Amino acid sequence: MLSSFARPAGAALRRSLSTSAQNNAKVAVLGASGGIGQPLSLLLKNSPLVSRLTLYDIAHTPGVGADLSHIETRAKVKGYMGPEQLPDCLKGCDVVVIPAGVPRKPGMTRDDLFNTNATIVATLATACAKHCPEAAICIIANPVNSTIPITSEVFKKQGVYNPNKIFGVTTLDIVRANTFVAELKGLDPARVNVPVIGGHAGKTIIPLISQCTPKVEFPEDQLTTLTGRIQEAGTEVVKAKAGAGSATLSMAYAGARFVFSVVDAMNGKEGVVECSFVRSEETECSYFSTPLLLGKKGIEKNLGIGKVSPFEEKMIAEAIPELKASIKKGEDFVKNMK
Ligand SMILES: NC(=O)c1ccc[n+]([C@@H]2O[C@H](COP(=O)([O-])OP(=O)(O)OC[C@H]3O[C@@H](n4cnc5c(N)ncnc54)[C@H](O)[C@@H]3O)[C@@H](O)[C@H]2O)c1
């Protein structure tokens, strides 16, 4: 079933860098001065899909904005700094991407970021709900398994909730899975598509190697090692950066790929599929990542989990308690917010 939509998803980034399609998406990046925010903003500025790029952060956005604004592409760029400038950054936006928040240091889990990032995401989501309630909201800030429930609860509180437009960006897990499978099998990574479902933390990251296109097979021990590497790939980068943060460049690529897919679908392109952590009825968790067919109004159809192997079935069952706890933690945070 999935294979009819398979891949090309990842082609979105390359496509938007190489075609002359003229489109008019107004995109905001919140946390634009950060490790992810800057290269992500560069990729967005480089795209003909984007006509206006507004950059918000609590520091350095005038400089980042001035720098990017000299690039000879059509997107008009402006930097906004501090909460009083946030409304103007958001007004009229079609898509808002949020990489604001602290990243992991060695030894930390994504959940360890909760205390700091929950407040940041709730504050920014409240501003989005007030100033661009119709925009597609793409959350990169971790822990994604909690920040999506937080964003959803904030939008509900403001009376503007649309579950089809709130996305947890898990694209980096798919990008990594495609790369690692291609390395092992000597394939072109651009032609590999591994759906990754569940959530975005450790064991909740569930690569469906059995649904990979082209079809690939691994002996059991290699499959276990490969799955573990995909689940811990973020930690691989955190360790290698040795205290200087987590994935930023690959995340910027993945974030841009996701935004371009959302914009392509909004522009009427058919058959655009991305996995994302969203409100879901596919399992007993109220949020879950599965492949989604995107359309003009956000999620057009949830394509579901599809046929999985016993190995994958077991991973799904094991992920559910952790996912439920992270979702509840996010929801409770907003309930207790003043
Ligand atoms: N979804 C994923 O796959 C994925 C992958 C990597 C990192 N992340 C997450 O992305 C987030 C950002 O990572 P990074 O490496 O860019 O961090 P960073 O520290 O380099 O940048 C974060 C930026 O957010 C800004 N910021 C802080 N509070 C803010 C606020 N209230 N409003 C606006 N901006 C604010 C900071 O000034 C900074 O510029 C982290 O939470 C990290 O865990 C997610």
Q: Is 117 in the pocket of ligand 1 (CB under 6 A)?
A: yes
Domain contains 6? no
CA 298 to centroid of ligand 1, rounded, Å: 24
Domain contains 204? yes
Domain contains 5? no
Are 106 and 31 part of one and the same domain?
Answer: yes
Cβ-in-10-Å burial (0-12, 13-18, 19+) of 141 comes to: buried
Are 205 and 286 part of one and the same domain?
Answer: yes
- State which of 149, 169, 189 marks the end of a domain: 169
104 is annotated as contributing to ligand binding: yes
Are 175 and 163 part of one and the same domain?
Answer: no
Positive or negative torsion for Cα 49, 37, 56, 141: positive
Active site residues: 200
Least-confidence region, from 4-13, 93-102, 221-230, 279-288: 4-13
- State which of 169, 204, 236 marks the end of a domain: 169
pLDDT at 2 over 70: no
pLDDT at 9 over 50: no
Q: Is 252 in the pocket of ligand 1 (CB under 6 A)?
A: no
**% pLDDT > 90, the chain:** 93
Q: Residue 223: which of 327, 314, 160 has the closest Cα? A: 314
**% pLDDT > 70, the chain:** 93
Please provide residue 166's backbone torsions phi and psi, each rounded to the nearest 5 degrees. Answer: -115, 115
pLDDT at 321 over 80: yes
pLDDT of residue 13: 53
Q: Whose CA is nearest to atom 22 of ligand 1?
A: 34
Q: Is 139 in the pocket of ligand 1 (CB under 6 A)?
A: no
pLDDT at 282 over 70: yes
pLDDT of residue 1: 33
Domain contains 187? yes
Which residue range is the domain that position 185 belongs to? 171-327
pLDDT of residue 338: 79
CA–CA separation, 160 and 174 (whole Å): 30
Are 223 and 234 part of one and the same domain?
Answer: yes
139 Cα nearest atom in ligand 1: 1
Are 206 and 278 part of one and the same domain?
Answer: yes
Tens of pLDDT, residue by residue over 54-107, are 999 999 999 999 999 999 999 999 999 999 999 999 999 999 999 999 999 899
Are 248 and 150 part of one and the same domain?
Answer: no
Are 155 and 189 part of one and the same domain?
Answer: no
CATH for 117: 3.40.50.720
CA 113 to centroid of ligand 1, rounded, Å: 10
Are 309 and 180 part of one and the same domain?
Answer: yes
SS3 for 149-202 is HHHHHHHHHCCCCCHHHEEECCHHHHHHHHHHHHHHHCCCHHHCECCEEECCCH
Are 150 and 216 part of one and the same domain?
Answer: no
Q: Please, which contacts does 104-109 make with residues 24 or more away whose CB atoms are closer than 8 Å? A: 104/142, 104/234, 104/235, 104/238, 104/245, 104/246, 105/238, 105/243, 105/245, 106/238, 106/239, 106/242, 106/243, 108/238, 109/201, 109/202
Q: What SS3 state is found at 305?
A: coil
Are 294 and 261 part of one and the same domain?
Answer: yes
Largest CA-CA distance found in the chain, in angstroms, rounded: 56
pLDDT at 158 over 70: yes
pLDDT at 17 over 60: no
- 145: enclosing H helix or E strand: helix 144-157
Residue 336 identity = N
Are 157 and 254 part of one and the same domain?
Answer: no
* pTM exceeds 0.85, yes or no: yes
Q: What is the mean pLDDT of the chain?
A: 94
pLDDT of residue 21: 45
Per the structure, how many domains does the chain have? 2
pLDDT of residue 23: 77
pLDDT tier for residue 19 given thresholds of 50, 70 and 90: very low
pLDDT at 4 over 80: no
- State which of 169, 192, 227 marks the end of a domain: 169
pLDDT at 138 over 80: yes
CA dist list (Å): 288 to 103, 137, 277, 324, 326: 22, 16, 5, 10, 11
CATH for 259: 3.90.110.10
Q: Whose CA is nearest to atom 6 of ligand 1?
A: 247
pLDDT of residue 7: 45
Tens of pLDDT, residue by residue over 232-258, are 999 999 999 999 999 999 999 999 999
Domain contains 9? no
